[in-house]
Amino acid sequence: MEQLQIAPLHELLSHFRYMITLRSQEGKYHSLILFRLSTAQDPGIKDLPTSESCGSQTDDISLSTGPSSNQRQIYVMESSCPHLGADMSHADIEECETGLVAVCPWHRYDFDLKTGKSETGLKACTYDVEVKVDLKDGVEKVYMQTPEEGTNWRLVELRPVSEEFADPPPPPKTIQHSEATVHVETGEIEPVVPPVNPPKTLMQWAVLILNTPNPSLKVERTRYAVDLFRTGKLSSIGHKSASAPRPPDVPSRDVSYTKNTVAPQKVKSRKNLAVMLHALANIEQWASLLTSRLAAISPSTPYGSMPVHASLWESATVTSQSLRSRLAIIHLVHEARGLDVNPATIERFRKAGDLETVKVMEIIHADEVTHVTSGHRWFTWICAQEGATEPVAAFRDEVRRGWRGDIKGPFNVDDREKAGLTPQFYEDLKGEMGFIEKAEQELFKSSVELSAIDIAPVNIEYDKE
Ligand code: FES
């Protein structure tokens, strides 16, 4: 039986659940969930969280060959429920007569953690797990059996199921009241919940958030809405209602966040760390972490005080008609470029002794690998749905159509490869956006001219997109 190392055991002690993504040599993906149940021997871990109502802390489940770990309880099963696909990372763990079960959050079917069997007759795929001591370094490591339908499986993502990083501290320039935010820069007070027509559905919250120009308030409203939704106080999605609000074509932004408000020559000579942080905050999903760091290291240059650009938004617009093209350009070009440049940026901060920013950047970099992995995963999935479209050729075609200029190196070959992007995807590749459209327009013009002089119609095949 092929085994795959997941991680040293000590790296799995910070959380009780981890999402695992595997990829085979053949390009297949598998999403799994690892449950680690607490035992008295886990250092630093006392109790299970209340949602994991595991009553069994018995000694009879030994998954380890390591001398100090004969009471570890680690299970791996597929991450989506075999009934209708619920996310099993939110399953409850319960003890029943036959053993420990994961109870699906949607329809409460339960699945044995070891065998995957359910009383309903359905069966979830489970994978054997072992903890073994590595004789080379004496460290306990966790291994799992690999799926059968593929070879040479590798781990492409191991992500704690946690809010730890998704909920960074608020930016220091914002003072929070219970339901209001004071923006120190402007002195304006804006409530998180608008006093007039407060949103009542998830859809209404989403549109309000998109229409909120201030980034701090946008984040606060997002957190507030998530909290309402998670605690059941917001039970209606509201997308089917005839009065559902329409999302704006372009989300609102304060003017300072949408165009250069600073003459470039003013910052040209300041290629310093603040400029780098500002540029990163411009493009990263973790912008709130970055703006916090920017405020900490350079209070005089808050986000918005230096040039910003909208290249991601431009690409989002160009690719708005096709998911395949969106995945190719945003995830596999823009975000893959992040993989190339992040390590050097991290080194610059390290050399400058700013270890806090190094920590933030390392979180962002690890996260970026997973973004590119997701892009690659869904891109290959779409190609398969389209009937054996070859992903490398399809990607190169999308880039030629939706990107302008060379795909530039130097490339971070290792991290790109971790995310599934082998060099065949991106080497010697150039976007021809604009040229292709022009050529098509020319073709169209000549067809019109030809039909105008009554010659047999010319059949021009346009690309589907
Ligand atoms: S989706 Fe899991 S029980 Fe229905």
Q: Using one digit for the tens of pLDDT, what is the confidence trace for 377-421?
A: 899 989 988 886 799 999 999 999 999 999 988 999 999 998 889
Q: How far is the CA of 241 from the centre of ligand 1 (A)?
A: 26
Dist. CA 87 → ligand 1 center (Å): 9
106 CA to centre of ligand 1 in angstroms: 5
Beta bridge partners of 176: 181
Tens-digit pLDDT profile for residues 311-360: 787 888 889 889 999 999 999 999 999 899 889 989 988 988 888 888 88
Q: What are the tokens at 164?
A: 């730890």
Residue 104 pLDDT more than 50?
Answer: yes
Name the residue with higher pLDDT: 47 or 147: 147
pLDDT of res. 102: 93
232 or 81: which leads in pLDDT = 81
pLDDT at 38: 65
Cα atoms in the 13 Å half-sphere on the side-chain side of 173 = 25
Query: pLDDT category, 255, cuts 50, 70, 90?
Result: low
Q: Which atom of ligand 1 lies nearest, measured to the CA of 109? A: 3
- Among 126, 3, 14, CA closest to 65: 3
Of ligand 1's listed atoms, the one at least distance from the Cα of 108 is 3
Please state, in angstroms and rounded to a whole number, the distance separating the CA atoms of residues 158 and 144.
Answer: 13
Best residue among 78, 87, 109 to mutate for probing ligand 1, ranked by most atoms within 8 Å of CB: 109
pLDDT of residue 462: 28
Closest-lying ligand 1 atom to the alpha carbon of residue 107 = 3
Q: What is the tens place of the pLDDT at every residue in 410-457?
A: 999 999 998 889 999 999 999 988 765 555 555 555 444 433 333 333
What is the model's pLDDT at position 51?
34
Q: How far is the CA of 7 from the centre of ligand 1 (A)?
A: 29
For residue 56, pLDDT beyond 50: no
- According to the per-residue pLDDT averaged within each range, which of 85-94, 274-283, 388-397 is highest? 388-397
CA of 80 to the centre of ligand 1 (A): 9
Cα 79 to ligand 1 centroid, rounded to whole Å: 12
Kindly give the distance from the C-alpha atom of residue 159 to the centroid of ligand 1, in angstroms, as a whole number: 23
350 vs 169, residue with greater confidence: 350
* 216 within 8 A of 174, measured Cβ to Cβ: yes
CB distance 116 to 77 below 8 Å = yes
**180 or 67, which is more confident?**
180
User: For residue 35, what are the β-bridge partners?
Assistant: 17, 75
Three-state SS string over 242-287 comes to CCCCCCCCCCCCCHHHCCCCCCHHHHHCCCCHHHHHHHHHHHCCCH
pLDDT confidence bin for 230, thresholds 50/70/90: confident
pLDDT value for 133:
92
Query: If you measure from the C-alpha of residue 95 to the centroid of ligand 1, how many angstroms do you get, rounded to a whole number?
Result: 18
Higher pLDDT, 326 or 90: 326
In ligand 1, the atom with minimum distance to the C-alpha of 105 is: 2
The minimum-distance atom of ligand 1 relative to the CA of 104 is: 2
Q: Which atom of ligand 1 is nearest to the CA of 86?
A: 1
Evaluate if residue 113 carries a pLDDT over 60.
yes
State the pLDDT at residue 297: 80
Residue 27 alpha carbon to ligand 1 centre in Å: 28
pLDDT surpasses 90 at 76: yes
Tokens at 256, concatenated = 């300072």
Task: Find the residues whose C-beta lies inside 6 A of ligand 1.
Answer: 81, 83-84, 86, 104, 106-107, 109
**Cα distance between residue 291 and residue 15, in whole Å:** 27
- The per-residue pLDDT for 163 is 46
Any idea what DSSP says for residue 224? H
pLDDT > 90 fraction of the chain, expressed in percent and rounded: 30
Query: 246: pLDDT confidence band, cut at 50, 70 and 90?
Result: confident
Residue 66 has pLDDT above 50, yes or no: no
Among 33, 94, 107, the mutation site with the greatest number of ligand 1 atoms within 8 A of its Cβ is: 107
Ligand 1 centre distance from Cα of residue 84 (Å): 5
- Per cent of the chain over pLDDT 70 is 74
pLDDT in the model for residue 245: 87
170 vs 362, which has greater pLDDT? 362
Residue 241 binned pLDDT confidence (cut-offs 50, 70, 90): confident
What is the pLDDT, as a whole number, of residue 393?
Answer: 94
Pocket test for ligand 1, best of 84, 89, 118, 123 (most atoms within 8 A of CB): 84
Residue 286: is its pLDDT beyond 90? no
pLDDT of residue 441: 58
* pLDDT of 46 higher than 50: no
- Whether the predicted pLDDT of 149 surpasses 70: yes
Higher-confidence residue of 310 and 114: namely 114
Q: Which atom of ligand 1 lies nearest, measured to the CA of 88? A: 2
Q: Ligand 1 centre and the CA of 105: distance in Å?
A: 7
Q: Whose CA is nearest to atom 1 of ligand 1?
A: 84
Average predicted confidence (pLDDT) for the chain: 77
Q: Determine contact, residues 71/62, Cβ cutoff 8 Å.
A: yes
Residue whose Cα lies nearest atom 3 of ligand 1: it is 107
- Please tell me which residue, 112 or 450, carries the higher pLDDT value: 112
